[in-house]
Amino acid sequence: MQSHPTLPPLIPREILFGNPQRSSPQISRDGKYLAYIAPDDKNVLQVWLRTLGQEDDRQLTDDKKRGIRAYFWTYNPEQLIYLQDSDGDENFHLYSVNIHSNIVRDLTPFQSVKAQVIDLDPDFPDEILVALNLNTPEKFDVYRINLKNGAVEFDTDNPGNIVDWTANARFEILAALAASPDGGYDLLYRETRDCPPGSGKADRPWELLRHWEADDEGGAVSFSSDGKTLYVIGSHDANTQRLIALDLATRQETIIAEDEQYDVGGIETHPTQRHIQAVSFYKDKVHWQILDESIAADFEALAKVRKGEFAIGSRDLADENWIVAYLTDDGPVYYYLYNRASKSSTLLFSNQPELENLPLSPMKPISYQARDGLTIHGYLTLPLTGEAPYATVLLVHGGPWARDTWGYDPEVQWLANRGYAVLQVNFRGSTGYGKAFLNAGNRQWAGTMHDDLIDAVNWLASERIATPDKIAIMGGSYGGYATLVGLTFTPDVFACGVDIVGPSSIPTLMQSIPPYWAPLMAMFQHRVGNMETEEEFLKSRSRSFLSIRLKSPY
């Protein structure tokens, strides 16, 4: 498949896909320091530090292999934590680093054990709650780790099906989300340690607050500061996931924020008072709903700084200074220090200055009707030169329980810069559009989920964006699976395909999952199919078991 003959100057791949110059800045809890991720002299990503208002930047960590991509400040202003695995095994360890001595400590030094951060709390600056599959690979129990001496203390047992934990303002695990045998979830709650005599830590029973069936979604967000309210997200009694305040004394629910078509997305919570201040709904772009008028003027000021979407990356404990990221579709991410008192924003840096002033293409939200009338949303990116029809790539997202969003995408810009139009679609089964849209993808791998992609091809042709003989399909993970399905189930549709780590056999995929995915298997079986009773059905939806001869290269 050839691209359009007229091309803009080619942008080197190392600029589009290379390491950021600086990214992910976070302000320390005391507001004195700024940490960020940047490459060292060997191009390995490390955590760096500067004093706010100064140019004394220095490297804190010295990872030798894969580089560091996730870190956060503790409530001890001298200490931050980063996550790292070993050679891509996904068994992430937590490492603490002292910003003055640069001493690094492995807080979870257990072989073949994965650490999942649960919570930190300003009133308990020397502790962190972590889930570890230390006793058995299949389940994560809760441990309390002392950040001063590294001592690991067992805190809460997982009966085997709990997949998420929530602590209250006293740093106690009092809520949990458990996977249920029907593919749904149970919201569990237990009383505090102040319960009646004889009810100790070990024998406090879990109480069922709510059951979400397999076609619903839900979970706990956080407790209020007084512990009387549990903030919950749930789609029960509605089509979309709403933000709810659950009164733990009366069990009454109060809807705090909702949208008829889109699920609740991001949540901004006060750093010390614990009340929820704003929520976002991701429509074609991010839309914020303010719940706390004390930050309304701040959001108004932030919206005027520059074009694009903004997100609050971190806040100091006094809530005087915020780190705010601005995202756009045709350039880097810009990071600002925002001062609430003066309502002023100061540019810190962008993550990839090399992208500035380059010929990058804008991303346009689109929608079309699937053959059964369902509205499918997506994003279209066109080359900057040439005229339609374009050679086009249908770029399919992974998951599949995820979604594409608006913004800079190196893969999209690489293709557009080489003369290809790129269409990304949030086919049925994608998240964020409510449970009816999500559940429309149940048991539809290579079924109506694939029909949505074929309807996307037809939409490209009807809009004269592409001709049917010059459309490729490409994607990773589920997107790779969709590519293999597209080239075999509908071999006459696509000119070629690019499969990136896509499973060719659903049965093999289900047999090779990590042990700690076991609690989620009921959900997977509900949405895809049951390996024990429907193996032939799953084979019929798998490229490996088809005798169809490929007609197009991949």
List the CATH number of the domain containing 491.
3.40.50.1820
The 3-state DSSP class for residue 477 equals coil
Cα–Cα nearest to 305, from 342, 273, 345? 345
Cα–Cα nearest to 168, from 229, 111, 107, 250? 229
The 3-state DSSP class for residue 536 equals helix
**HEC sequence for 386-418:** CCCCCCEEEEECCCCCCCCCCCCCHHHHHHHHC
Cα–Cα nearest to 72, from 84, 82, 64, 85? 82
Q: Are 225 and 266 in contact (CB under 8 A)?
A: no
- What does DSSP assign to residue 431? S
- What does DSSP assign to residue 216? -
Q: Mind listing the pLDDT tens digit of every residue in the chain (554 residues)?
A: 544 455 678 999 999 999 999 999 999 999 999 999 999 999 999 999 999 999 999 999 999 888 999 999 999 989 999 999 988 888 999 999 999 999 999 999 999 999 999 999 999 999 999 999 999 999 999 999 999 999 999 999 999 999 999 999 999 999 999 999 999 999 999 987 665 443 445 567 999 999 999 999 999 999 999 999 999 999 999 999 999 999 999 999 999 999 999 999 999 999 999 999 999 999 999 999 999 999 999 999 999 999 999 999 999 999 999 999 999 999 999 999 999 999 999 999 999 999 998 999 999 999 999 999 999 999 999 999 989 999 999 999 999 999 999 999 999 999 999 999 999 999 999 999 999 999 999 999 999 999 999 999 999 999 999 999 999 999 999 999 999 999 999 999 999 999 999 999 999 999 888 888 888 899 999 999 998 899 999 999 998 766 555 666 65
Q: Token pair of 450, please?
A: 């694939």
Residue 481 counted as domain residue = yes
Cα–Cα nearest to 479, from 470, 487, 471? 487
Residue 141 counted as domain residue = no
Considering its fold, how many domains does the chain have in total?
A: 1
Cα–Cα nearest to 61, from 88, 36, 86? 36
Rounded to an integer, what distance in angstroms lies between the CA atom of residue 461 and that of residue 458?
5
Residue 33 counted as domain residue = no
Rounded to an integer, what distance in angstroms lies between the CA atom of residue 380 and that of residue 307?
19
Q: Which residue has tokens 């049917």?
A: 468
Residue 107 counted as domain residue = no
Rounded to an integer, what distance in angstroms lies between the CA atom of residue 243 and that of residue 259?
10
Residue 265 counted as domain residue = no
Residue 420 counted as domain residue = yes
Q: 426 lies in which domain range? A: 363-545
Residue 466 counted as domain residue = yes
Residue 50 counted as domain residue = no
Q: Are 231 and 245 in contact (CB under 8 A)?
A: yes
Q: Residue 389, preceding bond cis, omega within 30 degrees?
A: yes
